[in-house]
């Protein structure tokens, strides 16, 4: 007999998952979606399989705003393994070269300032960036190396937490598009001994912190015990990633027209910036932008049940 297909349910909100080791971001997403039995879900920024930490997962209406989390700054703790370079830039890859580690903690501290601020990175071959429609990691697995365009990124914080033997632990706060593997490799190259990522944990993604994150094991245990609906207690509101934006509350009259796609006049609103919008009952109904004529135009609307 064929299995009866599960009827998925409508789920809206944001889950902060502590992505487990060895899971790809997509595998973690699909597992969580299955546990919630949700119609629609997406993650907001990939983590490598050997990385752990903050992976925001958006459900339902929250997926409309995932792009703003993709663009958010990130914060990491990373352990550099000095003296060894690998094909992937992390512990998963084939060892390419081993060198003695003659640098000291002071040598590393002297190098770090050149990697702070606006710098240029060449994305690694083992990345999801596409070249002629093919992800680079697929080309890399086939033994191909292609030219990659350098990228401008910003490192807001780069500090040494500890230095023991041939390992160094760093904290990094950076802009979107930063590859920590590339940063570690570049630092290792300047030191002359090479390096790769031995451990990586994302501790912040935009407004979300590791302390908020839920372990996959917790979700599995609760779902098995109490069902998918019990997991909803871990969901943050749809606009949880936008709470640092200015907010406007409309009247019942203006809410009606705004939700039908019409700009409405609002008093003393900031111009030319995205704004969270709530209706007269305080419910989040979407995001908009105020034009120079003082009218708030809808950009993304959500459906409240």
- Looking at residue 157, its pLDDT comes to 97
**Catalytic residue IDs:** 48
Please choose, from the candidates 297, 302, 258, 303, the residue with its C-alpha nearest in 3D space to the C-alpha of residue 280: 258
Residues 6 or more apart whose CB falls under 8 angstroms from that of 288 comprise: 248, 258, 274, 275, 277, 296, 297, 298, 299
- Looking at residue 1, its pLDDT comes to 43
* Cα–Cα dist 255/277, whole Å: 9
pTM of this structure: 0.90
* Cα–Cα dist 226/218, whole Å: 12
**Torsion, Cα of 224, 225, 230, 233 (10° steps):** -100
Residue 166 is classified by DSSP as: T
How far from chain centre, in Å, is Cα 302?
22
* Cα–Cα dist 284/276, whole Å: 7
Residue 51 is classified by DSSP as: E
- Beta strands 195-205 and 51-59 are parallel
- Looking at residue 126, its pLDDT comes to 66
Under-50 pLDDT residues of the chain: 1-2
* Cα–Cα dist 50/179, whole Å: 14
Residues 6 or more apart whose CB falls under 8 angstroms from that of 186 comprise: 115, 121
- Looking at residue 139, its pLDDT comes to 64
Please choose, from the candidates 235, 209, 242, the residue with its C-alpha nearest in 3D space to the C-alpha of residue 68: 242
């Amino acid at each position: 007999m064929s299995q009866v297909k599960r009827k998925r349910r409508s789920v809206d909100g944001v889950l902060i998952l502590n992505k487990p080791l060895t899971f790809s971001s997509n595998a973690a997403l699909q597992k969580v979606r299955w546990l919630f039995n949700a119609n629609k879900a997406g993650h907001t920024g990939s983590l490598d399989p050997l990385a752990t930490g903050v992976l925001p997962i958006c459900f339902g209406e929250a997926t409309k705003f995932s792009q703003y989390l993709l663009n958010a700054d990130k914060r990491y703790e990373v352990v550099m393994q000095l003296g060894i370079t690998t094909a992937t830039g992390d512990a998963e890859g084939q060892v390419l070269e081993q060198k003695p580690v003659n640098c000291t903690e002071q040598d590393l501290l002297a190098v770090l300032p050149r990697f702070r601020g606006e710098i240029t990175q060449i994305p690694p071959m083992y990345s999801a960036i596409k070249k002629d429609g093919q992800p680079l990691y697929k080309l890399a697995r086939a033994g191909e190396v292609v030219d990659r365009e350098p990228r401008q990124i910003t490192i807001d914080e780069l500090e040494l937490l500890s230095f023991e033997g041939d390992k160094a632990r760093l904290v990094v706060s950076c802009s979107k598009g930063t590859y920590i593997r590339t940063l570690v490799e570049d630092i290792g190259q300047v030191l002359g001994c090479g390096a790769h990522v031995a451990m990586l944990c994302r501790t912040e993604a935009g407004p979300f912190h590791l302390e908020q994150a839920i372990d996959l094991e917790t979700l599995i245990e609760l779902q098995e015990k109490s069902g998918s609906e019990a997991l909803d207690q871990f969901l943050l509101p749809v606009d949880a990633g936008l709470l640092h934006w200015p907010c406007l509350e409309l009247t019942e009259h203006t809410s009606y027209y705004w939700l039908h796609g019409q700009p409405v006049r609002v008093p003393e609103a900031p111009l030319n910036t995205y704004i969270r919008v709530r209706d007269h009952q305080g419910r989040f109904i979407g995001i908009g932008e105020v034009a120079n004529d003082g009218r708030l135009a809808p950009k993304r609307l959500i459906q409240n049940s």
